[in-house]
Amino acid sequence: MKLLTESQRRQLLCNGKRNAELTEQDRDTIDYFPVLKLFCPWGGATWLLTELDPEDPEIAFGLCDLGMDSPEIGRVSLAELAALRGPGGLTIERDIHFEPTKTLSGYMQEARRTGRLMA
């Protein structure tokens, strides 16, 4: 399974371009709802992604939880995620049932309270 659908890639890139423009204008960025959720089926890692870097669309931005009780907002390489292999050749998966219910900062606030991403 591909990490992103073409529709998700377009939305992530659109979000990234808009926030890059706002940053250049020294304005507040938009707190987007996550476009997708990725997870590690052999461990506790989860990623909620909201944007792609318009200058390097292989770099995504979102909430990253590596399962070590310290979720953080940051950037992640899609190429590195795609290259990860677990037991029996398992790969990072896209949660096809994920429906966001809050913005990225809403998920982050909850993760700070609980110590983990709950999505």
pLDDT in tens, 31-56: 999 999 999 999 889 999 999 999 99
Instruction: Check pLDDT > 80 for residue 1.
Output: no
- Predicted pLDDT at 70: 84
The strands making up 56-65's β-sheet, listed across from edge to edge, are: 72-77, 56-65, 46-53, 36-39, 93-94
Q: First vs last Cα of the chain: how many Å apart?
A: 20
44 touches 54 (CB < 8 A): no
52 touches 59 (CB < 8 A): yes
pLDDT in tens, 82-117: 999 999 999 999 999 999 999 999 999 999 998 888
State the pLDDT confidence band at 22, using cuts at 50, 70 and 90.
very high
Distance CA 38, CA 82 (A): 11
pLDDT in tens, 62-88: 999 998 888 999 999 999 999 999 999
**Which helix (H) or strand (E) is 74 found in, with range?**
strand 72-77
